[in-house]
Each structure stands twice: as structure tokens, then as C-alpha cells.
């Protein structure tokens, strides 16, 4: 029994289902007809680094230590980029311990690469192609012999080209090119290596859905070529599976189109929970004047001028996105004495969530009043509530990397996302793409994708929602291995033809040998 995990960043049934229905994705159709399909939820929070690490460890953030793209140093509050988990075993560590041969290809948040019983090629968040991004280190040379122009991810210019110059084709071409190379490498390794487990991740869906959501969700435009290519790659892998093998398609989070945004830090400032220093007050005032002008211009319909002004807003915004190793976070100029609640991260907008940091000494009544008020926020344009869910710190789990301050985690109503910048005069605004208020922006959503297919998996079955933490225990179970480690998820029993009894979650390793052998015997 061998397992392939086919990971796709940001994959959603909102795109897959209509494409399958129109006959465009024969291999995904095969999975839904001959395998099982489940919504895979990613909530705490639905942002790439946290979600992939949670998915490949079966653990919540307090166990693996990843809460965002950044970790905040104390007491400076400087944000340091994270490229791997701080703790917890990945599924390839567990399988390596069992002597299984693993191939780990381009999974995000796996830099630096770690020793495994097999091969690892680090994925998204690897700083550049010039570093050592493979295990064993010597495999890097072989990789470039097999696939001379291998790409770990897109160049930032390819991604920015859409936002800055509206050059859609450049982004699409680069995404297709990168994906073809990844398919090539994966197929080569599956054919030439001995393997028991392969996990490969494709990031193009996320890269295209953010700027091109309206095209993709209306099944129009060249970006759809990406999904055809993904389906082709899936087909090549399916061809290599044997009768005893299984394949899982998983995503770290889903996607949705957002037409509206809510300024969470401006809101906290207005509630007297966030204090601003002199510098940030000045830039905020400039931005507020421009945002007011922008709204007035929008109302009288001078779109060209709007675009020019909107670019100005971007320049004076108090926070700018940076992907350097260390950078001054948003809150560099907050007045800490008068700050009780704030959102330090740029991830809110694309991630479709807000993670509010609270001061330890925020009084209970004030916190309760904040929660009540957030729940009462209504979009004046649509009449929809701001929130679909409000969670407290406990949802991040418990463990060695538990957060030191209390948090509130907000998930918005469909069609809404959060901005964490300062300076918009309007708490509610359009979540526009390329400064066009008619275009929705693609942002993350909690509902992602899971397909299971192969030996012992139900056919044509649609199961109840599962969570990203369930993937590791489910795959171990599928491979007939005992669940020795403690996970924050559990086996998705319903995927399997026989209703197997769940294994106790915390067996001691020594005590499992017999059961392990018995299970192996039963299975083979
Ligand atoms: Zn992602």
C-alpha cells in the first residue's frame, strides 16, 4: 500500500465543481465518482503557513508554533519570517521512523529541508533557489539535471505584474511554466524511486485566484488553463497507482470572492482600544483625506482619476507589505500605553480573517463589550453581518508554543474580508481588484477540499466536513499504521469501506508493536 498526497494551495469546490460539471476535469471527476469527497475545514486561521503545517503534522498552532508568516520577537515586537515549524512531527518524520520511503516535493513551510528516509525538496517560503533546498543536499544537482528550469515558486515580479500593470498573461504563463516543471519532477521521482509515500504541493490555484477570482469563478479567461494542467498532472499520477495504493487531494484552505472589506485596526482605534504614536497619526490623517477624496470621486464616476488616487493611498498607508527576513511590523508606531487590542499582521486581507492580539490586563467587561459589538457590526451596503465566527485563544490548541497573550480570531461572513491598515476614513469599503470596485478580490475561506481515492476508500461518497488536522491520522490509518502520537485531529472513518474501530489516540509506542504487526497482517 502506497499513498500519494496531492496538495493544492487554496483549492476550492467553488471552482472545481462547476469545472467538473462542464466536463473540463476528467481526472478530478474520476476522484469524485470513484472516490470520496469531503469539505476540509481550515479555520485557526485559514492562512497558508499555519494551514500547511497543521495539515502535515495533524497539530494545532500551540503544538507546532506557526501562527502566521511571522513570529513577533519580544520585547521589540519585530516580525521575523518563519519558514518551518518550531515543533511537532511531520507525517514524513513518522513514516521515516517506520522505515517507509518518502518523497516530499514542494510542500510549503519545509525550509530548511530535514533528514527523511527518502527525498525532500523544500517549497514555498524557501528564501531562494541559491540556498540548499533539498535533502539529501546532493539531490539539488540531480534535480536540475532532471528538470533544468525547476521553479520553487513564482518570481515576485510575476505576481506584482497583475496588480501594478494589469499584465494577466505574464502571471498565467509563469504559473503554467512552474507547474509543468513540478509535474515533470514528481513523475520522474515516482517512476525512478522506491517510495511508500509521496506528498507534492502545487501553489498555482492560490496565486491565480487572488487576483483573478472573478474570471475563474465565472469559468472564463486563460487562467482556467491552470486547472486543466493540474488535472493533467493528477492524471499522470493516477496512471502510476497500483490496485493497493491510495491518493488524497488536499488543500490548506478554500477560497472565495470578497467584494467588501472591514478596517479592523481603524475600528479598534475608534473603540479606544488602540493608541497611535505621532508618526502613524500623521500618515493616517493623510490617508484619510485621500480615502475621502477617493469616495467622492467614485460617486461622481471619474474612474481614471480614482485609480491614480488609489495608488496614492497605497503609498502613504501606514503599513506596507514586506517579505524581508525581519521588518518593522504594522504596530511599530503604536502608543502601547493606550493599546489593548490590535491586529499586527498583513495576512488579514488575503487570508480572510483577523487575529486580534489582546493585552493581558484588558478587563473582562471590556472584552465582552468588544465581542458583542463586533457581532453587531453590519455591512451598511449589503446588510450582512461582519462575522461568521468569533473564536477565543483556546482554538489554537495547547502545547509548548501556546500564545502568551489572549487573542480573538474573527472569520468574516462570505464576501467580506479584513484590512489591517490605518487611514481609511470608511470602516467599510470595497475589496476591489486592480482599483476596480466592480471586481471581487479572491481571499481565503475556511472550506477547502479533500478527495480520497483508491484501495479501501468508498466510491462516489460525499462525507461530512473534516478538518486539516484529520489528514495525518487518516493517512496513517489508511496505511495500516497505529496512531501512536497524539493529534489534534482524528481518523475520518467515514471515508473507508469497512467501518473500522478507531484506534485509541494515545497508545504508547512500545505497547503498539503487537497491534501494529496484527494490523499489518490483517491488512496485507
Ligand atoms: Zn494557501
Closest CA to 297 of 288, 281, 309: 309
Q: Is residue 195 within 8 Å of residue 189, measured between CB atoms?
A: yes
Rounded distance from Cα 67 to ligand 1 centre (Å): 13
How much is the pTM? 0.89
Residue 27 and residue 88 in one domain: yes
Evaluate whether 455 touches 46 at the Cβ level (below 8 Å).
no
Question: Which pLDDT value is given to residue 206?
Answer: 97
- Out of 400, 430, 460, a domain closes at 430
In a domain, 441, yes or no: no
**Number of CB atoms found within 10 A of residue 23's CB:** 8
Distance CA 466, CA 250 (A): 11
Spell out a b/e string for 247-282, using b for 16 or more CB atoms within 10 Å of the CB, else e: bbbbbbbbbbbbbbbbbbbbbbbeeebbbbeeebbe
The DSSP-derived string for 411-439 is EEPTTEEEE--S--S-SEEE-EETTEEEE
Provide the b/e sequence for 85-118 (b: ≥16 CB within 10 Å). Answer: beebbbbbbbbbeeebbbbbbbbbbbbebbebbb
105 with 249, same domain: the answer is yes
Q: Are residues 250 and 264 in the same domain?
A: no
Per-residue pLDDT of the chain (524 residues; tens, 9 = 90+): 999 999 999 999 999 999 999 999 999 999 999 999 999 999 999 999 999 999 999 999 999 999 999 898 888 888 889 999 999 999 999 999 999 999 999 999 999 999 999 999 999 999 999 999 999 999 999 999 999 999 999 988 888 878 777 789 999 999 999 999 999 999 999 999 999 999 999 999 999 999 999 999 999 999 999 999 999 999 999 999 999 999 999 999 999 999 999 999 999 999 999 998 877 777 777 777 777 666 554 444 333 333 333 333 333 332 333 333 444 455 667 888 999 999 998 899 999 999 999 999 999 999 999 999 999 999 999 999 999 999 999 999 999 999 999 999 999 999 999 999 888 888 999 987 766 777 899 999 999 999 999 999 999 999 999 999 999 999 999 999 999 899 999 999 999 997 544 444 434 333 333 343 333 334 33
Domain harbouring 55, CATH code: 3.40.720.10
Whole-number pLDDT of residue 296: 53
Nine-digit cell string for 262? 472591514
Rounded to 5 degrees, what are φ and ψ at 313? -60, -40
> Any idea which residue has 469563478 for its cell?
217
Q: How far is the CA of 36 from the centre of ligand 1 (A)?
A: 22
Domain total in the chain: 2
Domain stop point among 430, 462, 482: 430
Ligand 1 centroid from CA 51, angstroms: 7
Q: What is the pLDDT of residue 519?
A: 39
Query: What is residue 494's predicted lDDT score, i.e. its pLDDT?
Result: 96
Are residue 79 and residue 48 in the same domain, yes or no?
Answer: yes
Task: Name the β-bridge partners of 341.
Answer: 358
Q: How many CB atoms lie within 10 A of CB 401?
A: 22
DSSP of 96-157, one letter per residue?
Answer: HHTT--EEEEEESS--S----SEEEEE-TT---TTS--EESTTHHHHHHHHSTT--SS--HH
What is the pLDDT at residue 409?
98
CA 66 to chain centre: 12
Q: Is residue 321 part of a domain?
A: yes
Residue 308's domain comprises 260-430
Same-domain status, 273 and 210: no
The answer to whether the CB of 113 falls within 8 A of the CB of 120 is: yes
List of residues 6+ apart from 264 with CB closer than 8 A: 343, 348, 354, 356, 410, 418, 419, 420
Whether residue 46 lies inside any domain: the answer is yes
Q: How far is the CA of 375 from the centre of ligand 1 (A)?
A: 27
Distance 253 CA to ligand 1 centre (A): 6
Distance (angstroms) between ligand 1 centre and the Cα of 337 equals 35
435 lies in a domain? no
Sheet holding 326-327, edge to edge: 70-72, 79-81, 326-327
Q: Cα(317) to centroid of ligand 1, in Å?
A: 25
- In the reported structure, the alpha carbon of residue 323 is separated from the centroid of ligand 1 by a whole-number distance in angstroms of 16
Residue that terminates a domain, selected from 430, 454, 484 = 430
Distance (Å) from CA 58 to ligand 1 centroid: 17
Distance CA 437, CA 256 (A): 16
CA 263-303-224 angle, 5° bins:
75
Rounded Cα gap, residues 229 and 474, in angstroms: 28
Asked whether residue 159 is assigned to any structural domain, the reply reads yes
Clarify whether residues 233 and 284 are in a common domain.
no
Task: Give the Å distance between the CA of 205 and the centre of ligand 1.
Answer: 9
Same domain (yes/no): 369, 494: no
Query: Which set of grid coordinates corresponds to residue 233?
Result: 498532472
Cβ(475)–Cβ(457) below 8 Å:
no
Domain check: are 327 and 375 in the same one? yes
* Alpha-carbon 117 to chain mean position: 27
Asked whether residue 134 is assigned to any structural domain, the reply reads yes
Nearest-angstrom CA–CA distance, 126 and 122: 6
Q: Are 446 and 411 in contact (CB under 8 A)?
A: yes
DSSP per-residue letters across 353-394:
-EEEEE-TT--HHHHHHHHHHHHH-B-TTT--BSEEEEEEGG
Q: Is the same domain home to 387 and 320?
A: yes
Same domain, 187 and 215: yes
| Cα 190 to ligand 1 centroid, rounded to whole Å | 25
Q: Is residue 8 part of a domain?
A: yes
Q: Do 508 and 407 belong to one domain?
A: no
Tell whether 303 and 369 lie within a shared domain. Answer: yes
Q: Is residue 438 in some structural domain?
A: no
Closest CA to 236 of 195, 200, 197, 194: 200
Q: For residue 127, which of 83, 158, 72 has the smallest C-alpha distance?
A: 83
Mapped to the 3 state alphabet, what secondary structure does 285-344 carry?
Answer: HHHHHHHHHHHHHHHHCCHHHHHHHHHHHHHHCCCCCCCCCEECCHHHHECHHHCCEECC
Q: How far is 40 from 29, CA to CA, in rounded Å? A: 18
Amino acid at each position: 500500500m502506497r499513498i500519494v498526497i496531492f496538495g493544492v494551495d487554496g483549492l476550492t469546490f467553488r471552482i472545481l465543481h462547476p469545472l467538473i460539471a462542464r466536463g473540463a476535469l476528467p481526472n478530478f471527476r474520476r476522484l469524485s465518482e470513484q472516490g470520496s469527497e469531503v469539505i476540509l475545514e481550515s479555520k485557526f486561521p485559514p492562512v497558508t503557513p499555519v494551514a500547511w503545517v497543521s495539515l502535515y503534522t495533524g497539530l494545532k498552532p500551540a503544538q507546532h508554533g506557526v501562527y502566521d508568516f511571522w513570529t513577533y520577537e519580544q520585547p521589540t515586537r519585530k516580525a521575523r519570517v518563519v519558514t518551518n515549524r518550531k515543533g511537532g512531527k511531520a507525517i514524513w518524520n513518522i513514516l521515516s521512523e517506520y522505515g517507509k520511503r518518502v518523497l516530499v516535493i514542494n510542500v510549503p513551510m519545509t525550509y530548511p529541508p530535514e533528514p527523511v528516509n527518502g527525498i525532500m525538496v523544500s517549497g514555498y517560503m524557501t528564501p531562494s533557489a541559491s540556498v540548499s533546498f533539498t535533502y539529501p543536499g546532493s539531490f539539488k544537482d540531480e534535480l536540475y539535471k532532471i528538470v533544468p528550469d525547476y521553479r520553487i515558486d513564482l518570481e515576485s515580479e510575476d505576481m506584482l505584474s497583475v496588480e501594478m500593470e494589469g499584465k494577466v498573461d505574464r502571471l498565467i504563463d509563469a504559473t503554467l511554466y512552474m507547474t509543468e516543471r513540478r509535474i515533470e519532477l514528481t513523475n520522474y521521482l515516482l517512476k525512478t524511486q522506491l517510495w511508500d509515500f509521496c506528498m507534492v504541493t502545487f501553489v498555482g490555484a492560490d496565486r491565480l485566484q487572488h487576483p483573478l477570482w472573478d474570471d475563474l469563478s465565472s469559468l472564463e479567461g486563460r487562467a482556467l488553463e491552470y486547472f486543466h494542467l493540474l488535472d493533467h498532472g493528477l492524471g499522470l499520477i493516477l496512471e502510476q497507482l497500483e490496485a493497493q495504493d491510495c491518493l488524497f487531494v488536499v488543500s490548506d484552505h478554500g477560497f472565495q470572492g470578497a467584494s467588501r472589506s472591514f478596517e479592523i485596526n481603524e475600528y479598534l482605534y475608534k473603540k479606544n482600544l488602540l493608541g497611535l504614536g505621532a508618526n502613524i497619526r500623521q500618515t493616517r490623517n493623510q490617508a484619510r483625506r485621500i480615502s475621502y477624496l477617493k469616495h467622492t470621486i467614485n460617486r461622481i464616476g471619474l474612474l481614471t482619476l480614482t485609480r491614480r488616487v488609489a495608488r496614492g493611498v497605497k503609498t502613504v498607508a501606514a503599513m506596507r507589505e514586506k517579505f524581508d527576513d525581519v521588518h518593522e511590523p504594522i504596530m511599530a508606531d503604536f502608543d502601547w500605553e493606550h493599546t489593548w487590542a490590535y491586529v499586527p499582521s498583513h495576512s488579514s486581507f488575503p487570508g480572510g480573517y483577523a487575529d486580534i492580539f489582546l493585552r493581558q490586563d484588558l478587563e473582562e467587561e471590556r472584552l465582552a463589550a468588544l465581542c458583542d459589538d463586533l457581532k453587531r457590526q453590519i455591512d451598511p451596503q449589503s446588510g450582512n453581518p461582519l462575522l461568521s465566527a468569533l473564536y477565543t485563544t483556546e482554538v489554537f490548541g495547547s502545547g509548548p508554543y501556546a500564545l502568551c497573550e489572549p487573542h480573538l480570531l474573527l472569520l468574516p461572513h462570505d464576501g467580506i474580508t479584513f484590512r489591517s491598515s490605518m487611514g481609511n476614513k470608511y470602516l467599510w469599503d470595497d475589496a476591489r481588484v486592480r482599483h476596480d470596485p466592480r471586481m471581487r478580490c479572491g481571499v481565503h475561506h475556511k472550506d477547502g477540499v479533500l478527495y480520497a481515492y483508491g484501495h479501501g476508500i468508498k466510491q462516489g461518497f460525499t462525507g461530512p466536513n473534516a478538518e486539516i488536522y484529520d489528514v495525518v491520522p487518516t493517512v496513517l490509518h489508511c496505511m495500516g499504521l497505529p496512531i501512536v502520537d497524539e493529534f489534534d485531529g482524528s481518523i475520518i472513518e467515514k471515508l473507508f469501506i469497512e467501518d473500522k474501530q478507531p484506534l485509541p489516540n494515545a497508545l504508547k509506542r512500545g505497547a503498539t508493536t503487537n497491534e501494529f504487526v496484527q494490523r499489518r497482517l490483517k491488512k496485507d
